[in-house]
Structure 1
Amino acid sequence: MDIHTRFAPSPTGRLHLGHAFSALQAHDFARAHGGRFTLRIEDIDGTRSRPEHVAAILTDLDWLGLRWDEPPVFQSQRLPRYQAALDRLRALGLLYPCFCTRADIAASLSAPHGPDGPLYPGTCRSLVAPDLARPHSWRLDMAAAAARTGPLTWHDAHAGTIAADPLAHGDVILARKDAPASYHLAVTVDDAAQGITHVVRGADLFAATHVHRLLQALLGLPTPDYRHHALLTGPDGTRLAKRHGAPTLESLRLVGEDGRALADKLRKGEVPVGFAAIQA
Structure 2
Amino acid sequence: MQKRTGSFLLIGLFLLSLNAVAQDKNFYIFLCFGQSNMEGNARIEAQDTVNVDPRFQVMEAVDCPAINRTKGNWYTAKPPLCRCRTGLTPADYFGRELVANLPSTVRIGVINVAVGGCKIELFDKDQYTSYTTNVPGWMKNMIREYDGNPYGRLVEMAKLAQKDGVIKGILLHQGESNTGDTLWTKKVKVVYDNLMNDLDLKPKKVPLLAGETVGADQNGKCASMNKIIATLPQTIKNSHVISSAGCTDSADDLHFNAAGYRELGKRYATQMLSLLGYKPMATN
TM norm. shorter chain > 0.5? no
TM-score for the superposition, normalised by structure 2: 0.34
* More helix, by proportion: 2
* More strand, by proportion: 1
TM-score for the superposition, normalised by structure 1: 0.34
